[in-house]
Amino acid sequence: MTSEQTLQTIIVGTRGSLLATTQTAQTVRAIQNSNTDVHIETKIIQTTGDLRRDVPFASVGTKGMFVKEIEQALLDGAIDIGIHSMKDMPGELPSGLQIACIPERENPFDAFISNGFSDLDSLPIGATVGTSSARRRAQISRYRPDLKLIELRGNLDTRLRKLDDGAYDAIVVACAGLKRLGLETRITSCIPPEVCLPAVGQGALAIETREMDLTTIECVRKVHSEQTARCVLAERLVLTALGGGCSVPIAAFATESNSRLTLTALVASLDGSTLVSTVETGASVDFASIGVRAASSLLDSGASDLLAHS
């Protein structure tokens, strides 16, 4: 084959932010390198979350705010693949679509970034911390109730600029995005999961396709990571069972070692005053039942009351 006209063409849909286009380009290269008979084109799609960037997440409604327009383009046949940050994916997908591939996960933890302080513990009483995440706000408020948490929206470069301009004493963002953009030197410290448990799927990407597009599925599966998938799918089962995408802070994080999978999950009130958590473990092959058990344990421990007040 000597020309693009003789190759299979795959159209990839992605958000237009610098992070989204960067991680999409990295993923496209990996798919291309594994499929020399494929030509890949990228299409930028504006999502609700991008168009309403200056509005607090709670006012927009977080369920699918960064993915639903891309999913509609998939359903309409305008694109063949949607590439998303896994943590943006709702617990349930539209009929006819599937997550066909989950590449190897990047750093899953939250990054503490400050120009004057080393970590959350070193911040003075009343210090201002910028974050857009209800999950982070709840857990940080529980750990340091004296801190002043302020809404922080915008792309990563915008958030870093606001910090550098002195609007905050510190900000909290995902380590993965900084690393993918080559900005890991801005990470002052990683927040341990005991302090701030990551979002479901944080650090992982989701490659979404139509369920019956077998040719495209075969192409993307070549960059799939089984271990990452087991961990992430266990986390997502918690999200799905709890009615994923609601405004209540939900976190889940799984690790795998020696064919054993350990899943920690929690649900909290928005102010962090109430929090229920669980740890489930078992054989890695039983990742699905581990996720279901974790969700059941949370519900039995009071998560249902927190969810009912969302």
| Cβ atoms of residues 256 and 233 within 8 Å | no
Task: Work out the average pLDDT over 224-233.
Answer: 98
| Cβ atoms of residues 27 and 81 within 8 Å | no
Count Cβ atoms below 10 Å from residue 176 Cβ, excluding itself. Answer: 26
| Cβ atoms of residues 199 and 251 within 8 Å | yes
Residues of the chain with CATH 3.40.190.10: 1-103+204-224, 110-191
pLDDT score, position 1: 44
Six-digit token string for 161? 């600029």
| Cβ atoms of residues 31 and 11 within 8 Å | no
Mean pLDDT of the chain: 92
The pTM is what?
Answer: 0.90
| Top-tier CATH class for 110-191 | alpha beta
Count Cβ atoms below 10 Å from residue 271 Cβ, excluding itself. Answer: 13
Alpha-carbon distance 181 to 187, whole Å?
12
pLDDT score, position 49: 66
pLDDT score, position 61: 47
Q: Does pLDDT of 203 surpass 70?
A: yes
Classify domain 1-103+204-224 by CATH number. Answer: 3.40.190.10
- The closest alpha carbon to 101, from 17, 5, 205, belongs to 205
Right CATH for 225-310 from 3.30.1300.10, 1.10.1520.10, 3.30.43.10, 3.30.160.40: 3.30.160.40
pLDDT tens per residue across span 204-218: 999 999 999 999 999
Residue 308: pLDDT band by 50, 70, 90 thresholds? Answer: confident
Percentage with pLDDT > 70 across the chain: 92
Catalytic residue, chosen from 50, 76, 80, 88, is: 88
Query: What Cα–Cα distance (Å) separates residue 231 from each residue in 184, 281, 287, 303?
Result: 24, 11, 7, 22
- The closest alpha carbon to 251, from 206, 305, 201, 191, belongs to 201
Query: What Cα–Cα distance (Å) separates residue 69 from each residue in 28, 46, 48, 75, 82?
Result: 20, 7, 8, 10, 10
Q: Does pLDDT of 47 surpass 90?
A: no
Percentage with pLDDT > 90 across the chain: 84
pLDDT score, position 155: 85
Query: What Cα–Cα distance (Å) separates residue 150 from each residue in 13, 69, 141, 142, 163?
Result: 32, 28, 11, 15, 12
Q: Does pLDDT of 27 surpass 80?
A: yes
Active site residue 88: yes
Q: Does pLDDT of 149 surpass 90?
A: yes
Residues of the chain with CATH 3.30.160.40: 225-310
| Cβ atoms of residues 11 and 43 within 8 Å | yes
pLDDT tens per residue across span 79-90: 999 999 999 998
pLDDT tens per residue across span 218-228: 999 999 999 99
- Within 8 A by CB and 6+ apart from 174, the residues are 87, 109, 110, 111, 202, 203
pLDDT score, position 206: 97
| Cβ atoms of residues 149 and 137 within 8 Å | yes
Buried b or exposed e, range 91-104, using 16+ CB within 10 angstroms = bebeeebbbbbbbe
Residue with more model confidence, 261 or 63: 261
